[in-house]
């Protein structure tokens, strides 16, 4: 109710509700068209990215605080941080209504963090395989959805490109390599499920992912946390988040080339019967 009554343009209020609570009813057709054309629709609704970001932020803050307090001598800081991340992840997933993307991300994060609690040196590939098995046990028909293949495909590509490659090239170079690899690896899946892929998506995501991860989601979640304590502080942060969203929206509009930016799937070959 508070988000609906904010003194912000209706479009910004709609996106804030979608990000905070998964309530996408207020987003209009033009907003969805722009997100789909630029390949960024996964960013501006509750998705694995946001669930993972919440868990990552809590993990980072808890681990550093645990070390500074000297509690690491009693219990390793990664394990304490993993437990805090699991709790934060579950809280946010429940807040968002436990939608399917949030369910998938929650299972993956709990498996990953649980592996850290049991063994701080857990290897990523076996943990990813265990997460995949857990999701299939929870929702066997997930294999029939595009989100399942795109999620695990993206995570697997990022792991392959990241593990054992620290220090090889600058951060910008590694980021560009990951973006190009995601385009090459996920385009066949996008063709299969949606019969087209966005040519502008790599550049749009290169801008939008850090923008949303740093300038939108953290202040939004901080505002939601402060809302029961101080509506003044919460509204100030929500206004700043709205301005940040406005800036991102202008960038996406500048990158929107309409249907010209879409790469249709190659036509299927004729059997010649």
N-to-C CA span, the chain: 60
Query: Whole-prediction pTM value?
Result: 0.70
For the segment 41-94, what is each residue's pLDDT rounded down to a tens digit?
777 666 667 777 788 888 988 888 888 887 767 778 888 889 999 998 888 777
HSE on the CB side for 145, CA within 13 Å? 13
Contact 130, 142 (CB under 8 A): no
Q: Which residue has the tokens 């395989």?
A: 129
Closest CA to 194 of 264, 268, 266: 264
Cβ contact 95:21 at 8 Å: yes
CA dihedral 4, 13, 56, 32 (to 10 degrees): 130
Strand partners, 262: 198
Alpha helices for the chain (secondary structure H): 10-21, 29-37, 48-68, 77-95, 100-118, 124-138, 146-162, 171-194, 201-210, 217-226, 231-255
Is 60 exceeded by the pLDDT of residue 168? no
The whole-number pLDDT of residue 166 equals 55
Nearest to 202 by CA among 233, 220, 181, 222: 181
Tokens 């299927």, located at residue: 268
Give mean pLDDT, residues 155-173.
70
Q: Between these two residues, 51 and 101, which has the higher pLDDT value?
A: 51
Whether the per-residue pLDDT at 269 is higher than 70: the answer is: no
Residue 169: pLDDT over 70: no
């Amino acid at each position: 109710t508070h988000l609906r009554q904010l003194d912000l343009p209706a479009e910004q209020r709609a996106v804030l509700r979608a990000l905070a609570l998964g309530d996408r009813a207020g987003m209009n057709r033009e907003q969805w068209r722009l997100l789909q054309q630029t390949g960024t629709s996964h960013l501006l609704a509750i998705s694995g990215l946001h669930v993972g970001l919440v868990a990552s932020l809590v993990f980072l803050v808890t681990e550093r605080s645990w070390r500074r307090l000297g509690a690491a001598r009693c219990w390793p800081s990664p394990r304490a941080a993993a437990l805090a991340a699991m709790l934060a992840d579950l809280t946010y997933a429940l807040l968002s209504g436990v939608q399917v993307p949030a369910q998938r991300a929650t299972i993956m994060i709990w498996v990953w963090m649980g592996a850290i609690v049991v063994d701080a040196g857990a290897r990523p590939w076996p943990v990813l395989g265990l997460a995949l098995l857990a999701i299939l046990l929870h929702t066997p028909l997930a294999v029939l959805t595009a989100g399942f293949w795109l999620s695990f495909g993206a995570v697997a590509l990022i792991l392959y490109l990241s593990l054992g490659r620290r220090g090889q090239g600058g951060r910008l170079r590694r980021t560009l390599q990951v973006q190009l690899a995601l385009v090459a690896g996920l385009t066949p899946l996008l063709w299969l499920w949606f019969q087209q892929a966005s040519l502008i998506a790599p550049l749009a995501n290169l801008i939008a992912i850090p923008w949303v991860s740093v300038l939108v989601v953290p202040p939004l979640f901080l505002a939601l946390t402060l809302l029961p304590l101080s509506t003044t502080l919460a509204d100030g942060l929500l206004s700043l988040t709205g301005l940040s969203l406005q800036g991102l929206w202008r960038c996406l509009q500048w990158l929107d080339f309409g249907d010209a930016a879409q790469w249709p799937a190659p036509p299927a070959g004729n059997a010649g019967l």
